[in-house]
Amino acid sequence: MTEPSPQPPAQPRPDDTAPAPESVGEIAGLRPRRRPGDGGEVSGPDVDLVDGLTPAARQVVRAWLLDRPSAAARQARLQVLAAFLRWLNASEPALDPLAATGAHLDAYCDAALTGTLTVGVRRPGKPLSGATVNRRRAVLSSFYAFAWRTGAVSHAVHPAGEPRPLTRDDRRLLRRGVARLAAGGRATEAVAVALLEATGAPVAALADLTVQDLRGIADDGGPVLLTVRDGHGDLVAFPVPEPVRPLLRELSGTRALGEPLIGPADTRWVAAALVEAALAGGMPRARAEVLHPGVMRARTVTDLLRGPSS
């Protein structure tokens, strides 16, 4: 199988080859309900609200909704996003939704928890449960993560309330996903995610890696060291965990001296590969879609020398 180009998609991509619908109400499962018994599946005003966004915002919302094949999932996404958009419009009428930040998501979730929401809820003034707010936070985080990965926004939106560290189970699923990407012929993405998870090295350093940065790669049974420049320009060596070594050897065998092992790659491409690996490994989509290379940077060289987590 030919490896895909390691460049992020320039535009959101729907899940089929048909032209993107003009109205979100034309998407399967999102027929607007205008009156009782008319066969509508979602709130007509919610559809109108999204259809009234700027062309750029409307395009990314459509693509994000189409990214889920399940009608129920699309309906839930639309309902949560529409509620947030109503709050955002009431709070900052001039703000484009694609310009929102993590602070806006935090403020919205805080208002939901404290009962100060006056729009976008069935009973204004009544606090929403923590579980409900967490579900809304996950959906909104998913939307902005999708917008960032597809190039619709230039900033990553990270609400402060979102749990950041990877759990042991997250890492297990991520490694399983790496193996599945590799088995599917996507060695470049697999190696990028494996090295990110194993070393926590900066994306820029991983993009610049060449065969010369590998020590012991020719020895099938021995340890492999990866050398990169840190943010201060100092040379740092990372031990490569044993499961990653075959992938690295296979990829390095296809590269000439001085040729980047992974690049050209940037943070957006690595973030997309990270999410794909997580989904391939069986991680829940709501969790996978908020992963970011920065999450992987918390482990220090000392942590790594203690051995990989199980």
Per-residue pLDDT at 81 exceeds 60:
yes
Give this prediction's pTM. 0.57
Q: What is the pLDDT of residue 233?
A: 65
- Closest by Cα among 265, 271, 251 to 186: 251
Q: What pLDDT is attached to residue 209?
A: 87
Residue 21: which pLDDT band, with cuts at 50, 70 and 90?
A: low
Per-residue pLDDT for 156 more than 80? no
> What average pLDDT does the structure give for the chain?
81
| Low-confidence winner among 57-71, 190-204, 271-285, 291-305 (lowest mean pLDDT) | 291-305
pLDDT of residue 301: 38
pLDDT tens digits, one per residue of 131-151? 888 889 889 988 998 898 888
CB atoms within 10 A of CB 50: 22
Q: Are 139 and 68 in contact (CB under 8 A)?
A: no
Edge-first strand order for the sheet with 235-240 is 214-215, 224-229, 235-240
Rounded average pLDDT over 224-233: 72
Reported as half-sphere exposure (CB side, CA atoms, 13 A), residue 215 has a value of 9
**What is the band of 297 on the pLDDT scale with cuts at 50, 70, 90?**
low
Cβ pair 270, 167 in contact under 8 A: no
Q: What is the CA radius of gyration of the chain?
A: 22
Please give the pLDDT value at position 308. 47
Q: What is the pLDDT of residue 80?
A: 96
Give the pLDDT score at 7.
38
Is residue 299 predicted with pLDDT exceeding 50? no
Q: Is the pLDDT of residue 223 over 90?
A: no
pLDDT at 199 over 60: yes
Which whole-number Å values give the CA distances from 231 to 83, 200, 214, 221, 275, in the listed order?
41, 12, 19, 32, 25
| pLDDT for res 95 | 92
* Alpha-carbon span 207 to 200, nearest angstrom: 13
Taking 70 as the threshold, does the pLDDT of residue 153 lie above it?
A: yes
The Cα–Cα gap between 28 and 83 comes to: 21
- Greater confidence (96 vs 249) lies with 96
Mean pLDDT computed over 65-84? 94
DSSP string, 202-241: -HHHHHT--GGGEESTT-TTS-EEEEEE-TTS-EEEEEEP
